[in-house]
Amino acid sequence: MTPEETAASEPVAARDKKRPFPWTCPRCLQQQVHLAVIPYRAERGRGGRLVSVEIPALRVPKCAHCGELLITYDVDDQIRLALDVAANQMAKQQPALPGRESANSQDAKESTTQSRATA
Ligand SMILES: [Zn+2]
């Protein structure tokens, strides 16, 4: 299961902005999830290439007990925005390489699911 699918199947994520902290952690069930600001490296397949971006201050709900990061719609928006900027910069620098789309998409999927696979 990918993080995207998890978010889509949990209607609770849509109410994130209205829920006051602390939240209950979905992983360890402790009520210790607070909004944290952390450096975060995101990688995703974009337009036939892998785009990676360093986000120096990502606002993300994080469990103080087990360290679980909760990728909500709000967090996903921040990541997508940063990736948009990075993708635009890459597009200006060099044209897309044909024939690498499938491999790059696969890499991106694996990297995004990695944090949840360690449970
Ligand atoms: Zn936890």
Q: Tokens standing for 21? A: 């902290």
Q: How far is the CA of 101 from the centre of ligand 1 (A)?
A: 35
Which range among 1-10, 23-32, 59-68, 71-80 shows the weakest confidence by mean pLDDT? Answer: 1-10
In the chain, domain spans: 3-117
How many CA within 13 A on the CB side of residue 71?
19
Q: How far is the CA of 10 from the centre of ligand 1 (A)?
A: 17
Cα separation, 18 vs 55, in Å, equals 24
Check whether 119 has a pLDDT greater than 70.
no
The string of pLDDT tens digits covering residues 27-57 is 999 999 999 999 999 998 877 889 999 999 9
Q: How far is the CA of 81 from the centre of ligand 1 (A)?
A: 27
Cα separation, 71 vs 92, in Å, equals 30
Q: How far is the CA of 106 from the centre of ligand 1 (A)?
A: 28
